[in-house]
Amino acid sequence: MPRYRLAVAGLAVPLVAAGCAKYDTPSGPRLGTAPPLSWTFPVNPQPLPGGTPTARAGAGASDDDLGPVPAPLPPAADLSGTYRGRAVLTFSTGNPRPCRDHNITAFSVDGREARLFSFRGTIAPDGSVTMQSGDRWLSGRFIGRTFEGQLWQRFPNCIWAVSLQATS
């Protein structure tokens, strides 16, 4: 037999053996290709206080299986005004000097539009807002006339916790 055929035959044996491996099944060991992996996790949610269910997990699921879903807190009816507070550094990589705490005095809301320097965003009905300016993102939520959120900067990588109160 020519040498190249021996080399091809030598490769075929491990390839066939890899495809015909032994694997265990609930009914005992088997030979052949293993079935695809599947993951199943039992879901037994605990009931939450208040609210009503709003979605089903799938066919045959009952409201008792899912438990009640609490309604999100609505924002204040009129969020317009100026907000002031602080951005406190919670994470930084590298040199923390450019990532210091900041006083925020220029966060303004007009109707459903929020603005802070070059950040601009529309406040969703649930009070949440996400804004981007270059490589920085500001996101959070209004609860009443308070804004709680997070400011993230890509380079240098810094994250601040933002807490603002309406002043007007």
pLDDT in tens, 31-80: 655 555 555 555 555 555 555 444 444 555 555 666 777 776 665 578 99
How far is Cα 28 from Cα 86, in angstroms, rounded to an integer? Answer: 63
pLDDT above 70 for 140: yes
- Give the per-residue pLDDT at 40: 54
Question: Residue 141 forms beta bridges with which residues?
Answer: 128, 148
Tens of pLDDT along 11-31?
444 444 444 555 566 666 666
- Give the per-residue pLDDT at 18: 44
Neighbour-count burial of 150, counting CB atoms closer than 10 A to its CB (0-12 exposed, 13-18 middle, 19+ buried): middle
Domains and CATH numbers, the chain: 3-66 (no CATH), 81-166 (2.40.128.80)
Buried b (16+ CB within 10 A) or exposed e, 44-73: eeeeeeeeeeeeeeeeeeeeeebebeeeee
pLDDT above 70 for 132: yes
Global pTM value: 0.55
**Residue 66: partners with Cβ closer than 8 Å, 6 or more residues away:** 45, 53, 55, 56, 57
